[in-house]
Amino acid sequence: MSDIELNNNNGADLISDTIKTFTGSVAIVGRPNVGKSTLLNAILGEKISITSKKPQTTRHRILGIKTMGVYQAIYLDTPGFHKNTPRQLNRTLNRTVIGALQEADLIVFVIDCRHWTNEDDLMLIRLKQQEKPVILVLNKIDTVNDRMKLLPIIDEISKKMAFSAVVPLSALKEKNVEALENVINEHLPEGKHLFAADDITNCTDRFLTAELIREKLMRLLGDEVPYAIRVEIEKFDDSETLLRIAALIWVEKPGQKAIVIGHKGEMLKKVGQLAREDMEALFEKKVFLHLWVKIKENWTDDDNLAQYLGHADR
Whether 27 is in a domain gets the answer yes
Same domain, 73 and 168: yes
Q: Does a structural domain hold residue 199?
A: no
- 8 A C-beta contact, residue 243 and residue 279: yes
DSSP per-residue codes, 153-220: HHHHHHTTS--SEEEE-BTTTTBSHHHHHHHHHHHPPB----S-TT--B---HHHHHHHHHHHHHHHH
Q: What is the CATH number of the domain that holds 53?
A: 3.40.50.300
Q: Is residue 67 located within the same domain as residue 95?
A: yes
- Final residue before a domain boundary, out of 127, 153, 187: 187
Q: What is the pLDDT of residue 164?
A: 97
Q: Is residue 259 part of a domain?
A: yes
* Out of 43-57, 112-126, 210-224, 270-284, least confident range: 43-57
Same domain, 144 and 19: yes
Tell me whether residue 4 is in a domain. Answer: no
Number of domains in the chain: 2
Whether 121 is covered by a domain: the verdict is yes
- What pTM does this model have? 0.70
Residues spanned by the domain of 88: 11-187
Task: Write down the mean pLDDT value for the chain.
Answer: 83
Residue 215: closest CA among 80, 52, 68: 52
182 and 213 within one domain:
no
**CATH number, domain containing residue 227:** 3.30.300.20
Angle at which helices 205-220 and 266-283 cross, to 10°: 140
Which element (helix H / strand E) includes 261? Answer: helix 254-261
Question: What is the tens place of the pLDDT at every residue in 134-179?
Answer: 999 999 999 998 888 899 999 999 999 999 999 999 999 999 999 9
* pLDDT surpassing 50 at residue 310: no
Q: Is there a single domain that holds both residue 222 and residue 161? A: no
pLDDT of residue 87: 56
Q: Are residues 158 and 217 in the same domain?
A: no
In tens, the pLDDT along 236-290 reads 999 989 999 999 999 888 999 999 999 999 999 999 999 999 999 889 999 999 9
With 90 as the cut, is the pLDDT of residue 201 above it? no
Instruction: Answer yes or no: is pLDDT of 231 > 50.
Output: yes
pLDDT digits (tens, 9 = 90+) for 63-89: 789 999 999 999 987 776 656 554 555
Task: Identify whether residues 134 and 265 lie together within a single domain.
Answer: no
Q: What is the pLDDT of residue 20?
A: 92
Quick one: pLDDT at residue 5? 43
Of the two residues 53 and 130, the one the predictor is more confident about is 130
Say yes or no: 36 and 73 in one domain: yes
Identify which has the larger pLDDT, 212 or 96: 212
Give the end of a domain, one of 157, 187, 217. 187
**18 and 104 share a domain?**
yes
Largest CA distance in the chain: 64
Percent of the chain with pLDDT over 90: 53
183 and 210 assigned to the same domain: no
Domain contains 197: no
Report yes or no on 200 lying in a domain.
no
Residue 5: inside a domain: no
Note whether 231 and 175 are same-domain residues.
no
Band of residue 306 on the pLDDT scale cut at 50, 70, 90: very low
Q: Are residues 85 and 160 in the same domain?
A: yes
Q: What is the pLDDT of residue 63?
A: 79
HSE-CB at 22 with a 13 A cutoff on CA atoms is 15
